[in-house]
Amino acid sequence: MHNLLIEIGTEELPAGIIEQIVSYLEDKIKEILKPETIHVFFTPRRITLLLKNFEDIEKEDEEIIIGPPKKACYDDKNEPTKALLKFLEANKAKLEDTIEVERKGGIYIAIKRVSKNKKPTQLLIETFEDILLSSPVPKSMRWTSSPKIKFPR
């Protein structure tokens, strides 16, 4: 389990705006890191989030994509039919990637896909700027040097 301290320095902000930003940041960071506990501290010039006990590991997602019934996938000579080939092509898979899955009504051909997700902290690093800059606030200002960036004033 990991702990993480996030600290953001700002120009002086009104209390009502800080509370909105903190609530938004807390929700977004909880979605990504799923910490056991999150403590939030803030002043008009500083926002701090202390996250306790979260797993920072890559997780694998497994997906089963069900295709056509097995009887429609092979002809009399046990060769792949057009239905199976189109299913494989649509899913960018090979014949070796197929598995058989039993469902109501019979046996179907399927593909099992396993994909690795990024570590939660890596995902947070990649999205933090967008999360911070998309904070819902009533008044914000833009910088002439970076017109896309807006933040509360």
Tens digits of residue pLDDT in 56-99: 888 888 899 999 999 999 999 999 999 999 999 999 999 999 99
Alpha-carbon span 146 to 64, nearest angstrom: 44
Tens digits of residue pLDDT in 118-134: 888 898 899 988 888 88
Q: Determine if the pTM surpasses 0.85.
A: no
Q: Which helix (H) or strand (E) holds 135?
A: none
Alpha-carbon span 133 to 12, nearest angstrom: 17
| 8 A C-beta contact, residue 24 and residue 135 | yes
